[in-house]
Amino acid sequence: MKKLLQKRVLIPLFALTIFFSGTAFKSDFFEIAKQIEIFTTLFKELNMNYVDDTNPGDLMDTAIKSMLADLDPYTNYYNEQDVESARINNAGDYTGIGANVLTLKDRLVIVEPYKDYAADKAGLKAGDEIIKVDNVTVADFKDDAGNLLQGGAGTRVDVTYVRQGKTQNTTIQREAVDIHAVPHYSMINENTGYIVLRKFNAKTSAETKSALRDLKNQGAEKLILDLRGNPGGLLREAVNVTNIFVPKNQLVVTTKSKVEKYNKTYYTKNEPMDTEIPLVVLIDGSSASASEIVSGALQDLDRAVVIGARSFGKGLVQRPKKLTYGTQMKITISRYYTPSGRCIQALDYWNRDENGKATRTKQENYNAFKTKKGRTVYDGGGVQPDLELEETILSPMTKAIINDNLIFKYGTEYYYNNTVTDLENFKLTDADFKNFKNFLKANNFNFETKTEKAFAEAIAVAKEEQLDAEIDTNYSNLISSLNTYKNKAIDNNKEQLLALLSDEIVKRYFYREGLYTYYIAHNFEIQKGVEILKNPSNYLGYLD
């Protein structure tokens, strides 16, 4: 047993020694080698001498993840299953059940079944909670239970799931799933096209070109490009998408790193499809990475009017590095900069607050840059739209409701208590909103403001100093005022909450395809984009 353990320790040590002997690490080599030797000695002694049996694999997994937790959230270790999942995400196709699945500790939740794919054909619905896959109970499975649903095309998997409190069973026949980077495109009116980009995988630019070509054949003379909720993906595809609308040999993004070979400039390499078509780009707080490269570049080059809410502000570039035994690391290797020179990274992972959370760059510390035509843009906090819409900016109350998964859960409850057949005229009523507020109460929704936390800390200190009796009445009055505010805050965010609820509910009945159709008729951001494009002088006014 001891010889086997020593072998398991020495092999990774030898590999690490080779890895760290590269030119970039020579100056720090002694310190790195020293720390590896200390860790290896500790790891060996712990496994050989600890009073109870240990699992070296679990201990190492914990050690690696704890070490990486001190860095940014994008530098990650991937086991063999994770490596395959990453390949699928970037390729845009995989074999499985055809559904977006959320992995929780004791169950797998169907977030969205893809229309006409395996899960949908087997009758699974959003909100179904899978508790058993074949003979494996999800709660007892230590690794990512979502991997249990993957398998070869044509193979079958038996699942046990809970729906509305009732346990049911079904068999799903796995199949190849093609995830479109462009899940929807259509004409909004007689001369305005609309393209949705969901992610930046290997197919993104090709699908975007195809969509634009088709829309132009249908008469599109103006275009809205929707990057809302797009988490990004491949950097080269961000450059290729930008290239569709800007000339060849145009700088799109620059990456800067402490490692010289990662310092690169990315220029467009192809002839564009259309450098003149008026273009509006939609972004929100979930638009990140490659989405920010595209929106930031098009903004810096005065090629598009960007509207919506400030983007996420990732600003960091990752690269996979192969490790031993089929594992990998994804490492943040550089920051990226838009054509004007902006780094739009919003979070500082090195200077964390007292709770260990990354701090956000303060607005007073933003730096000003100039677009191609001389407009002022800023770094530090994501891509700021040319037209920032309050309706797109999620309030703290709305974020708290989303984080508690209550929009999704209410969508499930609504689906099983209502029938919707008319997509075009679907609209939630005041009575529906009242039901939603009752739903929040029934689910014990409690939004704690930063002010409340500060007051709680202050009263705790007051008790230590025996001053609580003096301020108790005032404190109670303050808390009462805050509770009154919170009740009003839900009503104050009524339109935003109804829009999010409508989107979730529409997907339940008409799938994502129906949601985009619903957007064209009802979505505020799209309507604002159409309004800007209708008036050429108004459109150009944003770009001058």
pLDDT per position as a tens digit, 292-325: 999 999 999 999 999 999 999 999 999 989 988 8
DSSP labels, 291-341: HHHHHHHHHHTT-SEEEES------EEEEEEE-STT-EEEEEEEEEE-TTS
pTM of the model: 0.85
DSSP-assigned beta bridge partners for residue 156: 173
Under the banding of pLDDT at 50, 70 and 90, the label for residue 511 is very high
Under the banding of pLDDT at 50, 70 and 90, the label for residue 197 is very high
Q: Determine the 3-state secondary structure of 490 from DSSP.
A: helix
- Residue 412 contacts by C-beta under 8 Å, 6 or more apart in sequence? 126, 127, 508
For residue 178, pLDDT over 50 is answered with yes
Tell me the catalytic residues. 289, 300, 314
Stronger pLDDT, 125 or 361, i.e. the higher one: 125
Q: Determine the 3-state secondary structure of 285 from DSSP.
A: coil
What pLDDT does residue 17 have? 47
Stronger pLDDT, 10 or 425, i.e. the higher one: 425
Nearest to 200 by CA among 177, 246, 234, 223: 234
Stronger pLDDT, 505 or 10, i.e. the higher one: 505
What pLDDT does residue 449 have? 65
Cα within 13 Å of Cα(11), Cβ side? 9
Q: What is the DSSP code (8-state) at residue 114?
A: P
> 150-154, 498-502, 519-523: which has the minimum mean pLDDT?
150-154
Under the banding of pLDDT at 50, 70 and 90, the label for residue 21 is very low
What pLDDT does residue 92 have? 57
Mean pLDDT of the chain: 88
Q: Which two tokens stand for residue 290?
A: 């490659």
Stronger pLDDT, 463 or 64, i.e. the higher one: 64
Distances (CA, A) of 231 to 313, 319, 470, 473: 11, 16, 51, 48
The pLDDT of 66-91, averaged and rounded, is 80
What pLDDT does residue 61 have? 83
> 73-87, 214-228, 394-408: which has the minimum mean pLDDT?
73-87
